[in-house]
């Protein structure tokens, strides 16, 4: 285990990487309507918005590939090299999006360039998230693995709060017209401040990891010897990240479209939910360290199945007080579901030299394929079903499968 000073430095470095990552996601979510108009113009609002969410999904779907690449580096070489390289590759595309010409400037090449930059982002993010988690959990004091693992999610919530809050400020200061004309670029340019801070924090990181002498490829060994727990964890994490991206990315758009809540209020509610998540993630992680990760995940999955449809029905009333209560409950449920998963996934892999690949591919796939496609998927199921609360049914189904998988996992005795 590293010295105390070094430990706090890696915590800060892990947080800053995910601050940058989810700062960008918050921009894409908040500015989805604006980006749809600028890069995917259409007479059909649904198709235009779907194009914007599709660009988001394209980047997210690249996450499993990046997760595989950086996870392999983390296992075969060192965790710290994966952390530093992924941060550099993640920072540049976010900054460059702020300079992109729009559809009115260069036509079809505008969305092509946007999607290309999103793919590069997604590739790097796939390694960033898992590398931070594995490092933090492995360096955590005994009986603090969940708390240390949750620091990565704290960084994500902080990044989303900064991104959402910054966009809300720009909307208030400039108004929708100026946002559409030019000031949408400002948050992407501002990302460079966070990126430089992250590079400073990660420069010269120490590591206690010992790379393996074996020539075996971690991913091949995982699918050869650990297939069962891999697929079951993938089911659980997919349920978590569908709820996550619905709450923090898609819900502001849903509130505008189906609860008759204006953009400014939806933004404030989004910032509130992210802030609440920032508070409850470490609380739930501490509880998981006390009562056990699997027990808390089971409870949160069950309550999600039970409550998610009523919560959407309450939000559809448009009553601000009721919507705030519903969002609060949904956020606390998500925190209870998510906080224990990080350390649990890392510790589920008994072979120390396969952990980065195992964690990266599971979380990269769940967040990238399922989470990344969630906004577009939610918009589509509403369009097909003509039912505004259709996303709730989808979340409930995924949570039910997650509950089944976590009961199966309990038999592997991965409980602390």
Region 296-325 average pLDDT = 96
- pLDDT single digits (tens) 11-68: 777 778 788 877 887 787 677 778 778 887 766 667 666 666 666 666 667 777 887 7
C-alpha–C-alpha distance, residues 44 and 304, integer Å:
34
Query: Helix, strand or coil for residue 221?
Result: helix
Pure H helices in 77-144: 79-97, 103-106, 109-138
Tell me the pLDDT tens digit for each residue of 354-387: 888 888 889 878 877 888 788 889 988 999 999 9
Contact between 282 and 158 under an 8 Å Cβ cutoff? The reply is no
Task: Quick: pLDDT tens for 118-148.
Answer: 888 878 877 777 777 887 888 777 788 899 8
Specify the 3-state DSSP secondary structure of 144.
Answer: coil
Whether pTM exceeds 0.75:
yes
Report pLDDT digits (tens) over 181-196.
Answer: 888 889 999 989 988 8
Q: Classify burial at 324, counting beta carbons within 10 Å of its beta carbon; exposed 0-12, middle 13-18, buried 19 or more.
A: middle
- The predicted pLDDT at position 269 comes to 93
DSSP code of residue 369: I
Superfamily of domain 4-203+218-412: MFS general substrate transporter like domains (1.20.1250.20)
Mean pLDDT within 159-177: 82
* Exposure of 317 in the CB half-sphere (CA atoms within 13 A): 13
pLDDT of residue 157: 75
pLDDT, position 414: 42
What is the rounded distance in angstroms from the CA atom of residue 91 to the CA atom of residue 100?
15
- What local confidence, expressed as pLDDT, does residue 416 receive? 38
Confidence of residue 270 (pLDDT cuts 50, 70, 90): confident
Distances (CA, A) of 224 to 94, 217, 220, 221, 272: 37, 11, 6, 5, 44
């Amino acid at each position: 285990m590293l010295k105390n000073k070094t430990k706090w430095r890696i915590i800060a470095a892990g947080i800053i990487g995910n601050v940058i990552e989810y700062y960008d996601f918050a921009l894409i979510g908040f500015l989805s309507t604006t980006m749809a108009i600028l890069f995917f113009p259409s007479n059909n609002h649904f198709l235009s918005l779907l194009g914007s969410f599709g660009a988001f999904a394209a980047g997210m779907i690249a996450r499993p590939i990046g997760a595989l690449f950086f996870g392999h580096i983390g296992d075969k070489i060192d965790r710290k090299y994966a952390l530093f390289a992924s941060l550099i590759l993640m920072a540049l595309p976010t900054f460059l999006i702020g300079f992109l010409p729009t559809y009115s400037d260069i036509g079809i090449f505008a969305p092509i360039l946007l999607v290309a930059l999103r793919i590069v982002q997604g590739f790097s993010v796939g390694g960033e998230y898992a590398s931070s988690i594995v490092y933090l959990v492995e360096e955590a004091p005994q009986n603090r693995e969940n708390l240390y693992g949750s620091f990565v999610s704290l960084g994500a919530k902080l990044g989303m709060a900064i991104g959402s809050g910054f966009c809300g400020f720009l909307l208030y200061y400039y108004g929708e017209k100026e946002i559409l004309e030019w000031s949408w670029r400002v948050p992407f340019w501002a990302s460079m401040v966070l990126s430089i801070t992250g590079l400073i924090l990660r420069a010269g990181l120490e590591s206690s990891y010992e790379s393996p002498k074996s020539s075996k490829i971690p991913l091949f060994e995982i699918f050869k010897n650990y297939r069962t727990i891999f697929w079951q964890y993938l089911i659980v994490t997919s349920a978590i990240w569908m709820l996550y991206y619905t709450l923090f990315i898609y819900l502001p758009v849903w509130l505008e479209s189906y609860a008759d809540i204006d953009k400014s209020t939806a933004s404030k509610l989004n910032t509130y939910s992210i802030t609440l998540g920032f508070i409850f993630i470490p609380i739930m992680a501490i509880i998981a360290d006390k009562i056990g990760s699997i027990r808390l995940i089971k409870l949160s999955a069950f309550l999600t199945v039970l409550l998610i449809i009523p919560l959407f029905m309450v939000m559809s009333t448009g009553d601000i007080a009721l919507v705030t209560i519903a969002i609060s409950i949904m956020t606390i449920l998500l925190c209870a579901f998510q906080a224990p998963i990080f350390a649990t996934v890392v510790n589920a892999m008994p072979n120390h030299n396969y952990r980065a690949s195992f964690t990266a591919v599971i979380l990269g796939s769940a967040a990238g394929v399922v989470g990344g496609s969630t906004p577009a998927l939610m918009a589509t199921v509403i369009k097909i079903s003509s039912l505004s609360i259709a996303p709730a049914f989808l979340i409930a189904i995924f949570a039910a499968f997650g509950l089944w998988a976590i009961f199966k996992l309990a038999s592997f005795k991965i409980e602390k």
